Chain A
């Protein structure tokens, strides 16, 4: 299985540990990553650019999709926000007339989005291309006894119609499926598909921090020892700003937040250091030592 890898800005910038962990995990899962095809691909616009100019955002994504199509490989993402923004762009460009007008801007570079490329998150690829049973066979260090809270990130769950939940209903529970497949237990809590607060961090920090403390504390109440997310932007807020959130609510939180590939990597027996679990703001030692105790 080979994919054109679209890492997204954050895994190349503020969350390098996600990039590393993805590379290591894909090796173990026999997922071959072509890291060159997408080198010239731009940011998806992350919804912010679309706020100002939707068509421009769609044009940038059409350009990325065209690069994927030219390589003949399916596109893999590792960010809920990238995934959602791309899925939305794709759904708008299902309209032929609109797609043609978008494509007309790409002609300088000899690129054309033909409507075939369908970027998918690693989370979905594991379930849809590898298959959950096959994936389970690869687990060498089941995370038995660990209770993990899922946190999706808005853009990978809404709007459900553009994300293909109709044709692929398992996408709705994909994160829980992975948590169970790696041998851990799901700490279910009401905020799992709510907003992490990142988009309003600079606009209304108080509200943003309240979201962080609400989610992390309610996950802890359900017994979670860690939270896992397929979205590096959620990670930035839930991990990077957890100390600020904790100060605001006036109580300690200390809930480690793992990137999806890090959780999977632990169960595949990859060294936590290789997965860069030491690069988090919230110390992940508690997860690593809990894991050391499992048989």
Chain B
């Protein structure tokens, strides 16, 4: 089978000024992966092609890269799934949101710093037991999905918040934090939540689901971040804009059935938060001039009482 691998190249050490594209036209098997194709190029065409790989079985996490714009493991991405009779070309780039070293190799330092920052080990208060720590089966079953993370960096690569703010802890580290918060043996929940509640932590996720989409291991980082928010609100960390937003949003739906875009920001910030109100005012004014101010009085849906009842029935347990 024929394929044209269009690869992003760049070797700053050898004095190259900027990244460029190089196309390699090769023959591969029907079963070949993108990684097989790249290794073939490195072995038979151009030995200088820089890439990382090890297990070739989606276990070690070294071969993450962007293929046709999306972060994947090159070793579990089949070429035949990406080409057709009309289109034989595949784009290969290094992962995003990390500093480039050479060709498809990036620097993982910032990623590891963030993983370290969440203190990824079980912290206990009690004196160590005589034998092993016992954790229930159910609690470990809940953790199995998130423990499946192989630190490949695919979620970090495609995170839309990291793309605009490198200080964000990011999906991988936050999912890792969840792994310890949900561990019954860990006693440091309060401190952990306090730290994660800070700016650049759990509330900065924009819920875009990129991490969920690209994770090759089904870790569901965003789902874990939402659970962190749950934990934080339950533990009484309610004084962030994010927590208030969730609270106010929920109250508005509970009482009216539908959202009211006028009161949502006003109540989230608090009416007496003068600086934020002053910021909102011109935007509201502009909207009003275009004849589209959201109604100041709550509009309820017919039968909104039924919604209130559902809220009361379906309380979180």
Interface residues of A (CB under 8 A from B): 9-10, 12-17, 39-43, 45-53, 55-56, 59-60, 63, 105-106, 108-109, 154-155, 158-160, 190, 194-195, 197, 199-200, 202-204, 206-208, 210-211, 214, 236, 240-241, 243-244, 278-281
Contact = CB atoms under 8 A, between A and B. Distances in A.
Contact of A49 (B165, B249, B261, B286): B249
Interface of B: 69, 160-161, 163-165, 168, 199, 203-210, 212-213, 226, 229-230, 233, 240-242, 245-247, 249-250, 253, 257-262, 265, 268-269, 283, 286-287, 290-292, 294-295, 299, 301-304, 306-307, 309-311, 313-316
Given A59-B314, A154-B208, A43 B257 contact: yes
Which of A48, A190, A199, A236: most chain B Cβ within 10 A?
Answer: A48
B253 A14 contact: no
Contact of B213 (A56, A158, A214, A281): A158
Nearest to B259: A9
Contacts, number: 169
B253 A42 contact: yes
Chain A binding site: helix, strand, loop or mixed by DSSP? Answer: helix
Contacts of A279: 290-292
B301 A200 contact: no
A13 to B, nearest CB: 4
Contacts of B262: 13
A197 B310 contact: no
Contacts of A49: 246, 249-250, 253
30 contacts: A13-B261, A40-B303, A42-B257, A42-B258, A43-B258, A47-B207, A48-B245, A48-B249, A52-B230, A53-B315, A55-B314, A59-B310, A60-B253, A154-B207, A158-B213, A160-B213, A190-B69, A194-B210, A200-B205, A200-B206, A202-B241, A202-B269, A203-B203, A203-B204, A203-B245, A206-B165, A207-B161, A210-B164, A214-B164, A281-B290
Contacts of A281: 286-287, 290
Interface centre among B213, B247, B253 (most CB of A within 10 A): B253
A207 B165 contact: yes
A288 to B, nearest CB: 15
Contacts of B240: 203
Contacts of B247: 52
A235 B315 CA distance: 33
Contacts of B259: 9-10, 13, 43, 46
A51 B257 contact: no
Given A51-B226, A108-B309, A12 B209 contact: no
B258 A12 contact: yes
